[in-house]
Structure 1
């Protein structure tokens, strides 16, 4: 099991998701998408979503799959 935590600083709430394999780019963005679906009603009118992610192997800026998925996620927010 691989855990991933998302901290909503303004809402003071921690959400923890678990994956079956490894912390991959797809797992991370899938968790962000799941979190957004569960919490978007609480954030109506949100103008900016700041995501602070460590520079781990799955999220380095040279990982094209991560860049592709995070851009797709951001486009869904509009």
Structure 2
């Protein structure tokens, strides 16, 4: 899968999306094969919440998410905000989303506590299939106790989906809020 540097040589794509739980020192990585879209990001957040978060934090009423400023979870994308408001309404959680400024994602804990370790675990490996990628990510750990859960998400995600800002304002009128700090 030479998809990153030599896409023309690859036979598939590996699109990782991660959630890093600072308290538990645990990473949750979804491997996609389609496109990094707001739907992909929100499916991964839902997977984490319903499979792990709700059980690990049964009394949680609030979540703080630290996001980088690029790609599908960008503060500039209305579709991300709209999909995110659906998640908030669905779960009843109060969620604060803080975006790091452009080019500062290296300060996001997920980058230096999770993905840097995932990269080390994958170093020198030939990523020939999804099973190999999954296995390498599963094996990621540190002396400080980092563990990683990984899932394969082969759902196809439509790109180029747009949402009218008026729809977001309508959701806000329904009591759904989106707090963006960044």
Q: TM-score, normalised by structure 1?
A: 0.89
Q: Rg: which structure is higher? A: 2
User: What SS is found at the alignment partner of 1:33?
Assistant: helix
The runs of at least 4 consecutive aligned structure 1 residues that moved more than 6 Å come to: none
Q: Distance in 2 between matches of 1:63 and 1:55?
A: 10
Please list every run of 5 or more consecutive structure 2 residues that lacks an aligned counterpart in the other structure: 1-13, 93-182
**Range 58-67 or range 37-46, more displaced:** 58-67
Q: TM-score, normalised by structure 2?
A: 0.41
Q: Please name the residue that 1:47 is paired with.
A: 61
Q: Distance in 1 between matches of 2:26 and 2:71?
A: 26
Q: Please name the residue that 2:51 is paired with.
A: 38
User: What SS is found at the alignment partner of 1:15?
Assistant: strand
Q: Does 1:56 align with 2:74?
A: no
What is the aligned residue count? 78
Residue-by-residue CA offset, 1:1-49 (whole Å, 9 max, x unaligned):
1001110111111111011112111101110001101111111111210
